[in-house]
Amino acid sequence: MIWGALHAGLQSVLDTALDPVVVMDLGGNIIGWNDHAAASFGWTAEEAHGQRLSALIVPPAYREAHERGLAHYIATGEGPVLNRRIEVAAQNRAGEEFPIELSVAPSDQFGERLFIGFLRDISERKAQAERQQRILQESEHRVKNMLTVVAAIAQQTARVSPDVNSFTTAFAGRLESLAKAHELLVGQVWHDVSLTALVERVLRADVSAGRAQFGGPEILLKPGQVLGLSMILHELYTNAVKYGALCNEDGRLALDWTQDDRTVELEWRERGVPCTSDVPGSGFGHRMIAMSVKSDLKGTIDRQWQSDGLTAVLRFPLNES
């Protein structure tokens, strides 16, 4: 449709443009509006035509500045936003604000001075940039935390290790557990990680050998929970292999979990003849489990050592990060 004095060539631009195009006259009224503008803002061309642009698509907080800018241009012929690309806020029919990229060009080619505005909704681009910034900040934070954790593990492991070989074995295992958890998080760009995926990483070898099984509902863990729970499961698994039911070929391990409202209950059950009858004391692994349960999961753990192996019940709220 051609509005008033608009030349057919200008309307052709409106009809073929891939982005919203809005045309405004010197009085600040809309005289051109293409289909993309209708889709972005919610008004048809018929509804938009003749409306004051500032009242239709400019958010209330910026309308006065828009009107001042138009008056300044009429008085001086100068406009700071003309002939360049800027990012501003726009408003749709529902009153929702969203960011747009705007370039405005004055034109005398169609019989009168007009302003042709080419607009592009950049909501997704801005959201993506914000997500990337959050990911970078989160990664920096997590790397610092990871280095602190590694240093603490090294120090504590060295303190309780009788020799270098013992230290190397224990430290390497704990470091590998952290690496596996971090690998999962990187794959998910530090988003939520499935509990099933985490458990499968820890128990993969014995699941393949038929010595371990696991199952439960689909539960997504926050990054902090993934790191903490990975360390807890690694310590439980390491102890099961070294001292508990899995130290013998006949030993078995079952790991199941349930979810009640926002609370997760995870049960670790070993069945077999342990290689030692001694109940683990207050070693670093034991203390680390307690610390991770409290600080990373905000939960509790109840461990019972029986003649045929360990049973541990871990409970934690799902909504904690």
Provide the pLDDT for residue 10.
66
Check residue 23 and give its pLDDT: 93
Residue pair 219/318 in contact (Cβ under 8 Å)? The answer is yes
DSSP sequence for 101-168: EEEEEEE-TTSS-EEEEEEEE-HHHHHHHHHHHHHHHHHHHHHHHHHHHHHHHHHHHHHH-SSHHHHH
Report field, pTM of the whole predicted structure over 0.85: no
Q: How far is CA 49 from the centre of its chain?
A: 42
Residue 9 buriedness (CB in 10 A; 0-12 / 13-18 / 19+): exposed
- All structural domains of the chain, each given as residue ranges with its CATH number in brackets, are 8-121 (3.30.450.20), 125-317 (3.30.565.10)
Q: Which residues contact 51 (CB under 8 A, 6 or more apart)?
A: 29, 30, 43
Beta strands 97-107 and 114-121 are antiparallel
The structure tokens listed for 111 are 């019989």
Q: Which two tokens stand for residue 184?
A: 């999962």
Mean pLDDT for each consecutive 10-residue tract of the chain (321 residues)? 52 80 93 92 93 95 92 87 90 94 85 87 85 64 61 72 84 71 53 83 79 92 82 82 80 93 93 72 69 87 86 86 46
What is the structure's pLDDT at 119?
A: 93
CB 299 within 8 A of CB 284: no
Q: What integer pLDDT is reported at residue 321 of this predicted model?
A: 46
Given this model, what pLDDT does residue 131 score? 67
φ, ψ of residue 17 to 5 degrees: the values are: -65, 145
